Amino acid sequence: MSDLITLNKVNKTYRRGREQVHALDGVDLTIHQGEFVAVAGPSGSGKSTLLNIVGAMDQVNTGQVTIANQDVTALNEKGLTHLRADTIGFVFQQFFLQPTLTARENVLLPTLFTRQKHLESRADELLARVGLAERADHLPDELSGGEMQRVAIARALINQPKILLADEPTGNLDSRNAEAIYGLLDELHDEGLTIIVVTHSEELAMRAERRIHLLDGRISDDKAKGKTRVA
């Protein structure tokens, strides 16, 4: 498996009042293409900062970050925008669906910014893929929480990203809907998508093939599950 994301001696500090917080402290990490990685750890351990770094949302203080063969630390704002648009699909706890757009229009939203046209049929395919073919013309307030998150996943996939980055994707869902999302992530992983999930959910973390545990800005544990995936 080729390396998709590498972090080399990454440090990230920020100020909180007078206090200097070492959010990431000399982190070395390599994530291979096709891996399903769960990042866990207590609050303040650096999970969110790691997510910001691997999502090209934030820059490091020192160290080097490479995503899909691009040195993120050398990219300007425009380069980072392109990297996020082309390489990474984002799924968040809050769904961020536009309430006045239908499910289909929400899925198509990223294409507004990448100027891709005529992707309606791909949006319908993705909605069918997440089990919402019949709900394409519904507005978000006509959907359940689980359905909204599935729309968000379909939206994250519209630009055919190499990485799906999910931050507490089941945090707002009941167990039945959470189970549906777990199943969907499993399927996407089985299809070869690289998935990185930041979660407090032990159940979700257990389903990942690799679990990284952070503590005080350092990787305290990094273990692969017995399960292996055919590349």
Partner 1 sequence: MNLLTLSLKNLQRRKLRTGLSMAGVAIATAALFSLLSFNTGFDRALQEEMANSGIHMMASTEGCPLEAASLALHGGEIPKFLDARRLPEISDMPGIRTATGMLIFSLIEEEGKAIFFYGVGDNYRDLKPHWKIRGDWFNGPDSIILGSEAARVEKREVGDKVYFPGIDAEFTVSGIVERTGSEDDGFFFLPLDTAQKVFKKQGKLTAVGISLANVEEFEQVKGKIETLPDVYVVTKDQIMQQISSLTGSSKTLMAAVLVVALVVSFLGVINTVLMSVFEMLREFGYMRCIGASPGHIFRIVLFETLLLCLAGGVLGTAFGMAFASVTDQWLHDLLPYAPAGRFILFDPLIMAASISFATIAGLLAGIIPGLKAAHASPMEAVRNV
Give me the residues that bind partner 1 (CB under 8 A), please: 48, 51-52, 55-58, 77-78, 81-82, 84-86, 88-90, 92, 94, 96, 98-101, 105, 108-110, 112-114, 155-156, 159, 167
Closer residue to partner 1 in complex, CB, 107/205: 107
CB 145, min distance to partner 1, A: 17
End-to-end CA distance of the chain, in Å? 7
CB 8, min distance to partner 1, A: 22
Of 104, 86, 105, 91, whose CA–CA distance to 184 is shortest? 91
Closer residue to partner 1 in complex, CB, 32/82: 82
Closer residue to partner 1 in complex, CB, 55/146: 55
Closer residue to partner 1 in complex, CB, 26/171: 171
- Give dist(CA 174, CA 145) in Å, integer: 8
Contact (CB, 8 A) for 200 and 40: yes
CB 158, min distance to partner 1, A: 9
Closer residue to partner 1 in complex, CB, 35/168: 168
Closer residue to partner 1 in complex, CB, 42/183: 42
CB 225, min distance to partner 1, A: 26
Q: Are strands 36-40 and 70-71 parallel, antiparallel or unpaired?
A: unpaired
Query: Order of strands across the sheet with 70-71?
Result: 19-32, 3-16, 62-67, 70-71
Contact (CB, 8 A) for 175 and 186: no
- Give dist(CA 55, CA 58) in Å, integer: 8
CB 70, min distance to partner 1, A: 15
CB 223, min distance to partner 1, A: 25
Q: What residues contact 81, with CB distance under 8 A and at least 6 apart?
A: none
Contact (CB, 8 A) for 213 and 219: yes
Vertex 40, ends 39 and 41: CA angle to 5°? 140
